[in-house]
């Protein structure tokens, strides 16, 4: 097994300038999933429950989730609608979750915070999952129209991301490009470049 084959959570821990909750410092987005591991249903249920209890504008909860376990036709349909190299590694995850934004209510009223609220729900999903020992990798490189067609979504429901969730595994059988990304340093720009005003 190569050095990059199996990276422990500790190896990928963020070098933070201020103390963080352990789960936030440890969370990272792997591409090496264990293709032999089934998704842990109890942990998946907890992650979805965390998404359910995330805040949203006016408690509108403008999110829908399509959850597919590896080995099902639905999982394969989602894989077919991943772009580029996402398909190569994400097909090994225990489950794929399509995160769908409700962009309009049934009567045609725009839901202005749909994307914001959906993103926050998936953030809570990822933190709960990581806390419980699962790993999560969100993807924007997806075919939105293909997913909408595959699952018969009304036009007011827009798939924004697909999230791979599962057990951490090796990347040794994946392409060199994936292996390199798996071990690339985790970096962020300095906070001072994001906090544009702090009075």
Ligand X SMILES: Cc1cc2nc3c(=O)[nH]c(=O)nc-3n(C[C@H](O)[C@H](O)[C@H](O)COP(=O)(O)O)c2cc1C
CA distance 95 to 40: 9
Piece of the chain touching ligand X by CB under 6 A; list 49-57, 63-71, 139-147, 149-157? 139-147
For ligand X, which residue of 21, 133, 140, 175 counts as binding (CB under 6 A)? Answer: 140
For ligand X, which residue of 52, 141, 145, 154 counts as binding (CB under 6 A)? Answer: 141
CA distance 74 to 56: 28
The one-character DSSP state at 1 is -
Q: Which residue has the tokens 């993103």?
A: 119
Tokens standing for residue 102: 């409700």
Nearer to ligand X, 8 or 58 (CB): 8
Nearer to ligand X, 54 or 138 (CB): 138
CA distance 48 to 144: 21
Nearer to ligand X, 71 or 141 (CB): 141
For ligand X, what does the binding mask look like between residues 109 and 138, x meaning CB under 6 A? Answer: -----------------------------x
CA distance 130 to 103: 28
CA distance 22 to 20: 6
For ligand X, which residue of 86, 128, 148, 167 counts as binding (CB under 6 A)? Answer: 86
Strand partners, 101: 63, 158
**Does 186 sit near ligand X (CB under 6 A)?**
yes
**Does 28 sit near ligand X (CB under 6 A)?**
yes
Asked if 151 contacts 100 with a C-beta cutoff of 8 angstroms, the reply is no
> How many residues in the shown chain lie near ligand X by CB under 6 A?
9
Q: Which residues of this protein are in contact with ligand X, per CB under 6 A?
A: 28-29, 86, 138-141, 161, 186
């Amino acid at each position: 097994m190569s050095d990059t084959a199996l990276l422990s959570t500790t190896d990928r821990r963020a070098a933070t300038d201020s103390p963080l909750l352990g789960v936030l410092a440890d969370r990272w987005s792997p591409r090496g999933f264990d293709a032999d591991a089934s998704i842990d249903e109890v942990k998946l249920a907890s992650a979805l429950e965390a998404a359910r209890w995330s805040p949203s504008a006016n408690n509108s909860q403008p999110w829908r989730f399509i959850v597919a376990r590896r080995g099902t036709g639905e999982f394969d349909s989602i894989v077919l609608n991943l772009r580029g190299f996402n398909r190569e590694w994400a097909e090994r995850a225990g489950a794929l979750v399509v995160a769908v934004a409700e962009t309009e209510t049934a009567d045609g009223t725009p839901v202005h915070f749909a994307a914001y609220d959906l993103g926050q729900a998936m953030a809570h999903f990822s933190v709960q999952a990581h806390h419980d020992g699962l790993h999560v990798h969100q993807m924007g490189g997806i075919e939105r129209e293909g997913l909408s067609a595959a699952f018969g979504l009304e036009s007011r429901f827009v798939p924004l991301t697909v999230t791979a969730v599962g057990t951490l595994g090796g990347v040794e059988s994946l392409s060199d490009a994936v292996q390199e990304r798996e071990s690339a340093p985790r970096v962020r720009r300095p906070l001072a470049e994001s906090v544009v005003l702090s009075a």
